[in-house]
Amino acid sequence: MSRARFGQHFLVDGEIIQTIIESAEIGADDIVVEIGPGKGALTSHLAGCSGNLTLLEPDRRLADELRRAHKNARVLVQRGEAINFAGFPAHVVVVSNLPYYASVQIFKHLSENKGAISRMVLMFQKEVAQRISAGPGGRHYGSLSVWSSYNWEMEQVVTVPAKAFAPPPKVESAALRFRPRLKPPVDGDEQELFKLVRSSFVLKRRTLVNNLKNIYPADALNAAMESADLGPKARAEEVSLEQFAKLSQLLGSPPLERKIL
Residue-level pLDDT at 138: 87
166 and 194 part of one domain: no
Residue-level pLDDT at 87: 85
Residue-level pLDDT at 257: 54
Q: What share of the chain is helix, strand, coil (3-state, %, to 5)?
A: 45, 20, 40
Domain ends where: 180, 207, 239? 180
156 and 174 part of one domain: yes
Which helix (H) or strand (E) segment is 113 a member of? none
CATH no. for residue 211? 1.10.8.100
Domain ends where: 180, 198, 228? 180
CATH no. for residue 28? 3.40.50.150
Residue-level pLDDT at 4: 42
- Check: CB of residue 1 under 8 Å from CB of residue 60: yes
Which pTM was predicted?
0.91
Rounded to whole angstroms, the Cα distance separating 134 from 199 reads 19
Rounded to whole angstroms, the Cα distance separating 234 from 244 reads 12
Instruction: Count Cα neighbours of 125 within 13 Å in the Cβ-side half-sphere.
Output: 15
- Check: CB of residue 53 under 8 Å from CB of residue 70: yes
194 and 174 part of one domain: no
| Overall number of domains in the chain | 2
Residue-level pLDDT at 205: 85
Residue-level pLDDT at 9: 78
Domain ends where: 162, 180, 198? 180
Residue 139: inside a domain: yes
pLDDT along the chain (261 residues), means of 10: 53 95 95 96 94 95 96 95 91 95 96 96 97 95 98 98 93 97 94 95 92 91 95 96 96 64 39
150 and 247 part of one domain: no
Rounded to whole angstroms, the Cα distance separating 173 from 127 reads 8
141 and 200 part of one domain: no
